[in-house]
Structure 1
Amino acid sequence: MKEKIIETFNNLSADYEHSVDHENLYNSEYERPAMLAELPERMDGLRILDAGCAAGWYALELMKRGAAVTAIDVSPEMVSSAIRRTGGGAEVLCVDLEGELPFKDASFDLVLSSLTLHYIKDWTKTFEEFNRILNPGGVLLFSVHHPFTDIKLLEEAHYFSTELVIDKWKKSGKIHEVPFYRRPLNEIFAKTLEHFSIKEVIEPKPTQRFKELAPERYERLMAEPNFLIIKAVSCPS
């Protein structure tokens, strides 16, 4: 399944930057404002890992705030997009989040992962590595699909299981099948708590601009969240 995910995002990379940044309100006016609200305006001197950087939007934003940014993604084409976007200002690497990460212990002050972890079936190794590379008391901030929404995509769903979902995205007139994993809320919390202390759980709300541009979708999000954000602090191993 990992190969399918890599293939999908390699194929999406050509127009991903434009479509996500300028067309997809769920990113620009929903997830991103909520994630950025958890970060300081100035991050000078902080070492940050953007885990699952895609085309590099967060990497560039973190650079603008003064952080020293390392960005990783499993898709070679997305890595190329992120390198181009950050203009050499960040270290961008092609890395699989399901394996051992190529960083020393206590290398980062913050790990940020935006809408990435639902592409990984088992978070055990990933969270173990996040904890290892963070300074003691370092922060993990991540967003994922909300399990209460994703379960509706399955005809015969089993809520308490981790289930494969095949979503369909229409980009540039083409339909792309995008596989990801839906897991119960308890599993999200349990895996996080193996190595972290959860400080905040956020069910984001869309912005006023979202309401102005897409009032019907705004009302749906106000009734039912699409994403879940967790802010946690690393614990001693």
Structure 2
Amino acid sequence: MPDSVSKAAPVADYDSFAAAYSASNDNNLFNAYYARPEMIRLAGDVAGLHILDAGCGSGPLMEALRNKDASVSGFDLSPAMIELARERLGEDADLEVADLGASLPYPDDTFDCVVASLSLHYVEDWTSALAELRRVLKPAGRLIVSIIHPTVYAIVYPESDYFALTQYSEDYDFGEGTVWMTYWHRPLQDVINTFINAGFSIKTVTEPPPAANTPAELLPNPDGRSFICFLFFELEAR
């Protein structure tokens, strides 16, 4: 859990702690053994598909999908993250510095699938962001999304208005001092309706357990019970 929360903390400058953040994500519970395995499972057989990673960070999900014979492209707002992704994937990797909340540097109908793992909850305006993702997808292409589960906000901040679009920041320690991560909470009804209004059909919604190979010492519940953390969607462009 975060050390504290603020409604006025600055948006994170990922360039300042990119290496520490990437190292943590490669091995921690929530990314390595929870979000990434479920994103890969939902992607399914990707051999021969052209996939865009929207908010790719240092590229671990791109690497995993490429290892399953997909053709991968990715973008991130942080130049430092893109450099780490290039180190991971090679100098010829298709990587761009771009903003999920703005116009994307790809032609219409380019990708068979877009994955957006733990990136949309940094964006205030989902309408514009989803319109861009829909634009670069081929007809009937898939969008696979993971976000912070909306109910987590209600549990952690019971005094706040669950039904309001709210920006909030939490502080974390990635080994290089305290950093602030800033998110946008929206209620579940807004999450679902924004997907539908953007031209997507919902194929699957999951609240998975952590991966079967998760080291026992990482699990928050000694008896192996799952926990509420992220929410996953498999969507199809209409």
Letter in 2 for 1:143: S
The alignment-based identity, stated in percent, is 31
Q: Does 1:11 align with 2:5?
A: no
Select 2:114's aligned residue among 111, 121, 131: 111
Letter in 2 for 1:126: A
TM-aligned CA distance change 1:166 to 1:221, over 3 Å: farther
Aligned residue pairs total: 230
Could you say what secondary structure the match of 2:145 adopts?
strand
Equivalent residue number for residue 209 of structure 1: 213
Q: Does 1:123 align with 2:126?
A: yes
Offset of residue 67 of structure 1: 1.4
Structure 1, 152-161 or 176-185: larger mean CA deviation: 152-161
The separation in 2 between residues aligned to 1:70 and 1:218, in whole angstroms, is: 39
Once the two structures are superposed, residues 149-189 of structure 1 have per-residue CA deviations (whole angstroms, 9 ceiling, x without a partner) of: 12334363101111112111111151111111111000110
Contact 2:200/2:235 (CA < 8 Å) preserved in 1?
Answer: yes
Letter in 2 for 1:17: S
TM-score by length of 1: 0.90
Equivalent residue number for residue 198 of structure 1: 202
The separation in 2 between residues aligned to 1:134 and 1:146, in whole angstroms, is: 25
Letter in 2 for 1:16: Y
Offset of residue 14 of structure 1: 1.8
Offset of residue 99 of structure 1: 1.1
Offset of residue 32 of structure 1: 1.5
Question: What residue ranges of structure 2 are gaps of 5+ in the alignment?
Answer: 1-6
Equivalent residue number for residue 21 of structure 1: 26
Letter in 2 for 1:116: S
Contact 2:100/2:129 (CA < 8 Å) preserved in 1?
Answer: yes
Select 2:79's aligned residue among 76, 79, 82: 76
TM-aligned CA distance change 1:12 to 1:219, over 3 Å: farther
Equivalent residue number for residue 58 of structure 2: 55
The separation in 2 between residues aligned to 1:233 and 1:206, in whole angstroms, is: 25
Structure ranking higher on relative contact order (CA contacts 8 Å, 6+ apart): 2
Equivalent residue number for residue 181 of structure 1: 184
Equivalent residue number for residue 146 of structure 1: 149
Q: Does 1:166 align with 2:166?
A: no
Q: CA RMSD in A?
A: 2.1
Could you say what secondary structure the match of 2:17 adopts?
helix
Contact 2:12/2:182 (CA < 8 Å) preserved in 1?
Answer: no
The separation in 2 between residues aligned to 1:218 and 1:201, in whole angstroms, is: 26
Structure 1, 174-183 or 203-212: larger mean CA deviation: 203-212
Contact 2:20/2:176 (CA < 8 Å) preserved in 1?
Answer: no
TM-score by length of 2: 0.89
The separation in 2 between residues aligned to 1:28 and 1:221, in whole angstroms, is: 18
Richer in helix (by share): 1
Letter in 2 for 1:147: P
Offset of residue 45 of structure 1: 2.4
